[in-house]
Chains A and B, each alone.
Chain A
Amino acid sequence: MRTIPLTIEDPLKKKKERHQPRTLHDEAGFISRIFFGLILTLFAVLSIAPLIWLALSSFKTTQEFQLNRLGLPATWFFKNYPQAWQIGNMGVLIKNSVFYTTVSTLAVIVLSMAAAFAFAKIKSKATPILYGSFVIGILLTIQSIMVPLFLMANAVNLLDTRLGVLIPYTGLGLPIGVYLCTEYVKGIHDSIIESARIDGAGYFQILAKIIFPMAKPVISTLAILNVLGVWNEFMMINILVSREALKSLPVGIMKFSSALSSDYGKQFAALVIGLLPLLLFYLAFRNKITEGVSAGAVKG
């Protein structure tokens, strides 16, 4: 690897150099390296600086924060955490978020895979209309079903219930789920299914024993997209649920925006507690997550 010169070259000279055809290089040129390297470093620093600042500030008392907003804590104060945990009811919030996320994600996976198998491998005249209606749903803006969902949930007494949150979350995950799974199952050879049929297997057996194991990549993509989506969802659950005991983490943590916004120490501790679960999830599965997110950005 070449060393990067510390002086920045004359821009005119750079222009001249550009027009000269360069001989074979396996690496990019000096100027590009400096330019791109600087942007990368700058953006990376800006990406984590606010979070590091947040973490450091969460160990200051509110009085200390007002005098020392940028530096390290003079004395490390840990009591913000138990206090924020208690005020924010964090244990309940995290438990609820885990519940909504896992149950709706499992439901989306099972229902999407079943529908996908039927759409991709069993011939029916209904497929174009049904499958098409799922695909259209990918472009849905959630606001356009907000008021109807609220009125419907109210009419059938599902406001402020766990089921009233799970059903819409499952329904909202289905368009992308059915789309990704159907496109994936289409790629599985018919001969595999046919030979299982000849051996006497029923369709549900084939789905459970052959299709599910083969579809592991798309299932992990779908699981990641759904976990990120449901865990962070705010607008809908904020409208469908008002009881403290049923709130999810994003809704519950809003308390620290208004009521406690001048009690900085506790606010910061609450934010750290709130972002830790997903941060750990990300650090544990970061390659799978980045793969899943880019695979989920489907062709429009």
Chain B
Amino acid sequence: MKTHRTKAEERHAYLLMVLPAVLIYFAVVAFPMIFSLWISVSDYSGGQIFGGSTPVRFAGFSNYVRMWNDRYFWISLKNNVYIVLLSVFGQIPLGFILAYALYRNMIRAKGFFQTVIYLPCVISSVIVGILWQTIFSPYGPVTEIMQYFIPGWQNTMLSNPRTAIVPVLLVMLWYYTGTYFIIFLANLQKIDKEVIEAAKIDGATEWQSLRHVILPALSGVIVTSSILAISGSLKSFDLIFAMTGGNPARRTSVLALYMYDTAFRGAPNYPRANAVSTFMMAFSFLLIIITKLVEKKFGGREE
């Protein structure tokens, strides 16, 4: 039975344990999020926010409207959509295939393959960006390899505004597939091997056991990975910043880079930058909700 004294001690301990984390979290994450919403509907243009010579006023949704009418916003959004599609229909399936192959013992030296396939993921994205910029540049090895097959081939991959996003997408496939590979491998190993053996005894082929046993058991993981892929894709910044800087002619820009350019390059436009980041947040939530709905409608039965 609890006495009055222990109740007080309990409350005291709770407060002391929770307070440091809560204070820091609210100061640098929760409050800035609300602050950002407020900036996005203000006409703040730098300088002191409160008590400055020019008071900051409410500007309604004008920053959102201006963002909406900016063609670079749409170019960036389009590239983000490409990246989301690539991650959901490229990285996730490829990651799954690679994980499945290891899981079903299709090859020797499993440890080696696991180590090597995940390896790109631990390199800083800035280093990956600089490395691939050189690889794809006219002076890089891609030019030499292509000229071996097609003599006189001109390398305009990164300088042609219409195609510059393609090398970026290839690098993303190279860089991020390992993450999904590792997630699928870990979850495949949780599936009871006896279920698969039982299916095989009943005469199921490799394909049938994959389709009717393994994929349904993984439906939750597939949804989780998709959510991870969507929110990760919308955040992508460092790699493109280092690889192309959003160029040529801002054609490889993404929303995060558009936001960064708006806020920190040239004349800063903080309200519009925060309109962009708020849009990113909303767009990310929307895509996640759609993913959840798709799961509800078509999702397999989880064990």
Contacts and interface: CB of A to CB of B under 8 A. Distances in A.
Interface of A: 1, 18, 21-25, 27-29, 32-33, 36-37, 39-41, 43-44, 46-48, 50-51, 53-54, 66, 69-70, 111-112, 114-115, 117-119, 122-124, 126, 130, 133-134, 137, 139-152, 155, 167-168, 170-172, 174-175, 178, 202-204, 207, 228, 231-232, 234-235, 239, 249-251, 253-254, 256-257, 261, 264, 267-268, 271, 274-275, 278-279, 281-283, 286, 289-291, 293-295, 297-300
B29 A174 contact: yes
Nearest to A145: B32
A235 B134 contact: no
A141 B27 contact: no
Contacts of A275: 123-124, 127
Contact of B28 (A54, A171, A228): A171
A116 B273 CA distance: 35
Given A143-B256, A290-B118, A47 B174 contact: yes
Contacts of A41: 107
Q: Interface residues of B: mostly helix, strand, loop or mixed? A: helix
B124 A172 contact: no
Nearest to A278: B122
B300 interface: no
30 contacts: A1-B108, A33-B107, A36-B100, A36-B104, A39-B101, A40-B98, A44-B112, A51-B123, A111-B20, A134-B25, A141-B231, A141-B256, A141-B280, A144-B33, A144-B278, A149-B32, A151-B270, A152-B35, A203-B17, A234-B242, A253-B130, A274-B127, A275-B127, A289-B118, A290-B114, A294-B187, A295-B186, A297-B224, A298-B224, A300-B227
A32 B277 contact: no
Nearest to A206: B13
Nearest to B11: A124
Given A40-B102, A47-B178, A279 B284 contact: no
Contacts of B183: 293-294, 297
A146 B94 contact: no
B131 interface: yes
B164 interface: no
B64 interface: no
A26 B127 CA distance: 43
B109 to A, nearest CB: 10
Contact of A254 (B9, B33, B126): B126
B288 A141 contact: no
A-B interface, 6 closest residue pairs, ranked by CB to CB distance from nearest: A171-B28, A36-B101, A294-B186, A148-B32, A203-B13, A21-B203
A141 B135 CA distance: 30
Contact of A28 (B185, B204, B206, B238): B206
Given A124-B11, A151-B49, A141 B281 contact: yes
B98 A39 contact: yes
A279 B122 contact: yes
Contacts of A271: 127, 130-131
A235 B225 contact: no
Given A24-B201, A40-B107, A297-B224, A118 B18 contact: yes
Contacts of A126: 14, 18
B100 A167 contact: no
Which of A28, A152, A300 has the most CB atoms of chain B within a 10 A radius of its CB?
A300
A290 to B, nearest CB: 5
Contacts of B32: 144-145, 148-149, 152
A111 B135 CA distance: 43
Given A47-B120, A114-B17, A297-B228, A147 B178 contact: no
B135 A50 contact: yes
Contacts of A234: 124-126, 237-238, 241-242
Contact of B280 (A143, A152, A171, A261): A143
Given A24-B201, A118-B14, A234-B241, 20 more contacts: A22-B205, A39-B97, A40-B107, A41-B107, A48-B116, A54-B131, A133-B25, A143-B280, A145-B33, A170-B28, A232-B126, A239-B264, A250-B125, A253-B130, A279-B119, A286-B114, A290-B114, A293-B183, A294-B186, A297-B224
A102 to B, nearest CB: 17
A144 B107 contact: no
B62 interface: no
Given A168-B28, A202-B13, A300-B224, A66 B139 contact: yes
B252 to A, nearest CB: 15
Which of A44, A114, A143, A289 has the most CB atoms of chain B within a 10 A radius of its CB?
A143
B101 A279 contact: no
Interface string B23-51: 01111111111011001000000000100
Given A21-B205, A47-B174, A282-B119, A40 B101 contact: yes
Contacts of A235: 237-238, 241, 256, 260
Contact of B124 (A22, A124, A146, A250): A250
Contacts of A232: 124-126, 238
A143 B115 CA distance: 32
Interface stretch (B66-74, B81-89, B140-148): B140-148
